[in-house]
Structure 1
Amino acid sequence: MGRTLPTFTERADALFHEWRPFRRALRREDQEVFDTLLSDVRRHAQAGTVLSPLDPWPILILSMLIEERKARLSLLQQVERLEKERISDGRLS
Structure 2
Amino acid sequence: MGKTNPTYRDTLSEFENEWSPYQRALRLEYQNHFERLFDQARNFADAGGIQNHPDPVTTHLISILLAQECRIANLEEQLEAENV
The TM-score bracket by the shorter chain reads 0.7 to 0.9
Structure 1 residue ranges, 4+ long, deviating more than 6 angstroms after superposition: none
Q: Structure 1: which 5+ runs fail to align?
A: 85-93
TM-score by length of 1: 0.79
CA positional deviation for 1:5:
2.3
- TM-score, normalised relative to structure 2: 0.87
Cross-structure match for 1:76: 76
For residue 82 of structure 1, what is the amino acid of its counterpart? E
- Of the two structures, which has the highest relative contact order with CA contacts closer than 8 Å and spacing of 6 or more? 2
- Give distance in 2, aligned partners of 1:54 and 1:7: 12
- Identity percentage of aligned residues: 31
Please tell me the root mean square deviation across aligned C-alpha atoms, in Å.
1.5
Number of residue equivalences: 83
| Match of residue 61 from structure 2 | 61
